Structure 1
Amino acid sequence: MDVGKLVAVIGDEDTVTGFLLAGVGHRTAEGSNFLIVKQDTQLTQVEESFQKLSQRNDIGIILINQHIANDIRHVLKDYNQTIPTVLEIPSKEHPYDPEQDYIMQRVNMFLGGGGI
Protein backbone atom coordinates (compact mmCIF):
# COMPACT_ATOMS: atom_id res chain seq x y z
CA MET A 1 0.00 0.00 0.00
CA ASP A 2 1.38 3.40 -1.02
CA VAL A 3 1.12 5.84 1.87
CA GLY A 4 1.04 9.58 1.17
CA LYS A 5 3.53 12.03 2.57
CA LEU A 6 2.90 14.69 5.20
CA VAL A 7 3.12 18.46 4.96
CA ALA A 8 5.34 20.02 7.63
CA VAL A 9 5.02 23.62 8.81
CA ILE A 10 7.56 25.94 10.42
CA GLY A 11 5.96 29.26 11.14
CA ASP A 12 4.48 31.83 13.44
CA GLU A 13 1.61 30.91 15.73
CA ASP A 14 -1.17 32.11 13.41
CA THR A 15 0.22 30.27 10.38
CA VAL A 16 0.84 26.98 12.16
CA THR A 17 -2.51 27.14 13.97
CA GLY A 18 -4.29 27.66 10.66
CA PHE A 19 -2.62 24.63 9.11
CA LEU A 20 -3.29 22.52 12.21
CA LEU A 21 -6.98 23.47 12.07
CA ALA A 22 -6.96 22.41 8.41
CA GLY A 23 -5.78 18.94 9.49
CA VAL A 24 -2.07 19.10 8.66
CA GLY A 25 -0.84 18.31 12.17
CA HIS A 26 0.69 14.92 12.94
CA ARG A 27 2.27 13.96 16.25
CA THR A 28 3.96 10.71 17.22
CA ALA A 29 6.28 9.56 19.99
CA GLU A 30 9.21 10.66 17.80
CA GLY A 31 7.90 14.21 17.41
CA SER A 32 5.57 16.34 15.32
CA ASN A 33 5.53 17.78 11.81
CA PHE A 34 5.32 21.41 12.89
CA LEU A 35 7.17 24.07 14.84
CA ILE A 36 5.62 27.26 16.18
CA VAL A 37 8.28 29.97 16.11
CA LYS A 38 7.76 32.67 18.72
CA GLN A 39 9.87 35.72 19.60
CA ASP A 40 11.80 33.74 22.22
CA THR A 41 12.39 30.67 20.01
CA GLN A 42 16.13 30.12 19.62
CA LEU A 43 17.52 30.18 16.08
CA THR A 44 19.27 26.86 16.75
CA GLN A 45 15.89 25.28 17.54
CA VAL A 46 14.52 26.44 14.17
CA GLU A 47 17.61 25.14 12.38
CA GLU A 48 17.44 21.76 14.17
CA SER A 49 13.72 21.43 13.46
CA PHE A 50 14.29 22.11 9.76
CA GLN A 51 17.14 19.57 9.64
CA LYS A 52 15.01 16.89 11.33
CA LEU A 53 11.97 17.53 9.12
CA SER A 54 14.07 17.57 5.95
CA GLN A 55 15.53 14.15 6.79
CA ARG A 56 12.20 12.42 7.46
CA ASN A 57 10.94 10.01 4.80
CA ASP A 58 7.29 10.72 5.60
CA ILE A 59 7.49 14.47 4.82
CA GLY A 60 6.80 15.61 1.25
CA ILE A 61 6.61 19.39 1.66
CA ILE A 62 8.00 21.79 4.25
CA LEU A 63 6.11 25.08 4.43
CA ILE A 64 8.04 27.86 6.14
CA ASN A 65 7.14 31.49 6.70
CA GLN A 66 9.43 33.59 4.55
CA HIS A 67 10.57 35.82 7.41
CA ILE A 68 11.64 32.69 9.31
CA ALA A 69 13.30 31.26 6.19
CA ASN A 70 15.33 34.47 6.01
CA ASP A 71 16.63 33.78 9.52
CA ILE A 72 17.92 30.34 8.48
CA ARG A 73 18.82 31.26 4.87
CA HIS A 74 22.35 29.89 5.43
CA VAL A 75 20.82 26.46 6.10
CA LEU A 76 18.34 26.65 3.21
CA LYS A 77 21.06 27.57 0.69
CA ASP A 78 22.85 24.31 1.51
CA TYR A 79 19.65 22.27 1.17
CA ASN A 80 19.54 20.63 -2.27
CA GLN A 81 17.00 17.82 -1.99
CA THR A 82 13.90 17.71 -4.16
CA ILE A 83 11.78 15.92 -1.55
CA PRO A 84 10.80 17.26 0.82
CA THR A 85 10.23 20.40 -1.18
CA VAL A 86 10.65 23.65 0.76
CA LEU A 87 8.10 26.35 0.02
CA GLU A 88 8.26 29.81 1.53
CA ILE A 89 4.90 31.31 2.40
CA PRO A 90 3.77 34.72 3.68
CA SER A 91 2.45 35.43 7.15
CA LYS A 92 -0.06 37.94 8.43
CA GLU A 93 2.63 40.32 9.60
CA HIS A 94 5.17 39.81 6.80
CA PRO A 95 4.12 39.97 3.13
CA TYR A 96 5.67 37.61 0.60
CA ASP A 97 8.65 38.93 -1.37
CA PRO A 98 9.49 36.72 -4.39
CA GLU A 99 12.96 38.28 -4.66
CA GLN A 100 13.88 36.74 -1.28
CA ASP A 101 12.52 33.29 -2.19
CA TYR A 102 15.36 30.96 -3.18
CA ILE A 103 13.03 28.73 -5.23
CA MET A 104 11.71 31.73 -7.17
CA GLN A 105 15.29 32.91 -7.75
CA ARG A 106 16.17 29.53 -9.26
CA VAL A 107 13.01 29.41 -11.38
CA ASN A 108 13.80 32.90 -12.64
CA MET A 109 17.36 31.84 -13.48
CA PHE A 110 16.13 28.84 -15.48
CA LEU A 111 13.55 30.94 -17.34
CA GLY A 112 16.00 33.51 -18.58
CA GLY A 113 16.98 35.73 -15.69
CA GLY A 114 14.46 38.54 -16.18
CA GLY A 115 12.89 40.32 -13.23
CA ILE A 116 10.53 38.45 -10.97
Structure 2
Amino acid sequence: MAGRGKLIAVVGDEDTVTGFLLGGVGELNAQRKPNFLVVEKETSVAEIEETFRSFLTRDDIGIILINQCVAELIRHAVEAHTRSLPAVLEIPSKEHPY
Protein backbone atom coordinates (compact mmCIF):
# COMPACT_ATOMS: atom_id res chain seq x y z
CA MET A 1 0.00 0.00 0.00
CA ALA A 2 1.40 3.39 -0.97
CA GLY A 3 1.95 6.05 1.67
CA ARG A 4 -0.01 9.26 1.81
CA GLY A 5 1.24 12.02 -0.49
CA LYS A 6 2.27 15.52 0.48
CA LEU A 7 -0.11 18.45 0.73
CA ILE A 8 -0.18 21.75 -1.11
CA ALA A 9 -0.28 24.81 1.17
CA VAL A 10 -1.69 28.14 -0.01
CA VAL A 11 -0.97 31.67 1.26
CA GLY A 12 -2.84 34.38 -0.58
CA ASP A 13 -5.81 36.65 -1.03
CA GLU A 14 -9.35 35.40 -0.49
CA ASP A 15 -10.05 34.69 -4.17
CA THR A 16 -6.86 32.69 -4.65
CA VAL A 17 -7.26 30.60 -1.50
CA THR A 18 -10.98 30.02 -2.12
CA GLY A 19 -10.24 28.77 -5.63
CA PHE A 20 -7.73 26.25 -4.35
CA LEU A 21 -10.03 25.19 -1.51
CA LEU A 22 -12.83 24.57 -4.01
CA GLY A 23 -10.33 22.46 -5.94
CA GLY A 24 -9.86 20.23 -2.89
CA VAL A 25 -6.58 21.55 -1.49
CA GLY A 26 -7.83 22.34 2.05
CA GLU A 27 -6.73 19.99 4.85
CA LEU A 28 -6.24 20.01 8.62
CA ASN A 29 -3.28 18.16 10.14
CA ALA A 30 -3.42 16.07 13.33
CA GLN A 31 -3.05 19.26 15.41
CA ARG A 32 -6.04 20.78 13.54
CA LYS A 33 -3.82 23.32 11.77
CA PRO A 34 -4.97 24.26 8.24
CA ASN A 35 -2.70 24.22 5.20
CA PHE A 36 -3.85 27.66 4.04
CA LEU A 37 -3.88 31.31 5.10
CA VAL A 38 -6.22 33.97 3.72
CA VAL A 39 -4.31 37.26 3.73
CA GLU A 40 -6.58 40.24 4.28
CA LYS A 41 -5.87 43.93 4.90
CA GLU A 42 -5.85 43.26 8.65
CA THR A 43 -3.40 40.35 8.42
CA SER A 44 -0.05 41.37 9.89
CA VAL A 45 3.25 40.69 8.16
CA ALA A 46 4.30 38.83 11.33
CA GLU A 47 1.32 36.47 11.00
CA ILE A 48 2.08 35.85 7.31
CA GLU A 49 5.73 35.10 8.08
CA GLU A 50 4.86 32.87 11.05
CA THR A 51 2.43 30.85 8.93
CA PHE A 52 4.91 30.59 6.05
CA ARG A 53 7.66 29.38 8.38
CA SER A 54 5.30 26.86 9.98
CA PHE A 55 4.47 25.48 6.53
CA LEU A 56 8.21 25.13 5.83
CA THR A 57 8.64 22.93 8.91
CA ARG A 58 5.62 20.68 8.39
CA ASP A 59 6.61 17.30 6.98
CA ASP A 60 3.18 16.80 5.38
CA ILE A 61 3.55 19.78 2.98
CA GLY A 62 5.34 19.34 -0.35
CA ILE A 63 4.44 22.60 -2.14
CA ILE A 64 3.69 26.10 -0.85
CA LEU A 65 1.78 28.36 -3.25
CA ILE A 66 2.02 32.04 -2.30
CA ASN A 67 0.69 35.11 -4.07
CA GLN A 68 3.57 37.12 -5.50
CA CYS A 69 2.41 40.32 -3.76
CA VAL A 70 2.27 38.48 -0.40
CA ALA A 71 5.71 36.96 -0.99
CA GLU A 72 7.09 40.49 -1.43
CA LEU A 73 6.01 41.27 2.15
CA ILE A 74 8.15 38.41 3.49
CA ARG A 75 10.79 38.34 0.76
CA HIS A 76 13.60 37.71 3.27
CA ALA A 77 11.90 34.52 4.50
CA VAL A 78 11.11 33.31 0.99
CA GLU A 79 14.69 33.90 -0.20
CA ALA A 80 16.13 32.22 2.91
CA HIS A 81 14.39 28.93 2.03
CA THR A 82 16.92 26.84 0.09
CA ARG A 83 15.68 23.26 0.54
CA SER A 84 14.01 21.46 -2.33
CA LEU A 85 11.00 20.48 -0.20
CA PRO A 86 8.68 22.05 0.29
CA ALA A 87 8.89 23.78 -3.07
CA VAL A 88 7.79 27.43 -2.94
CA LEU A 89 5.95 28.74 -5.99
CA GLU A 90 4.91 32.37 -6.36
CA ILE A 91 1.65 32.83 -8.25
CA PRO A 92 -0.18 35.94 -9.49
CA SER A 93 -3.41 37.22 -7.97
CA LYS A 94 -6.41 38.90 -9.55
CA GLU A 95 -5.33 42.37 -8.38
CA HIS A 96 -1.61 41.80 -9.01
CA PRO A 97 -1.02 39.89 -12.26
CA TYR A 98 2.55 39.13 -13.28
Same fold (TM over 0.5): yes
How many angstroms apart in 2 are the aligned matches of 1:29 and 1:7? 16
- How high is the TM-score relative to the length of structure 2? 0.94
TM-superposition CA deviations, 1:8-38 (whole Å, max 9, x none): 0000000000000000000245201000000
User: In the alignment, what sits opposite 1:54?
Assistant: 56
Identity %: 56
RMSD: 0.9
Query: What residue is the counterpart of 1:64 in the other structure?
Result: 66
Count of aligned pairs: 96
Shift of 1:58: 0.6
Instruction: Trace 1:1-116 onto structure 2 (pairs within 5 A).
Output: 1-28=2-29, 30=31, 31-96=33-98
Structure with greater helix percent = 1
Which protein is bigger by CA-based radius of gyration?
1
Unaligned segments of structure 1, at least 5 residues: 97-116
Segments of structure 2 that go 5 or more residues without pairing to the other structure are: none
Flag as ranges the 4+ runs of structure 1 deviating above 4 A: none
> Following the alignment from structure 1 to structure 2, what is the Cα–Cα distance between the partners of residues 49 and 81?
17
Counterpart-to-counterpart distance in 2, 1:43 and 1:23: 27
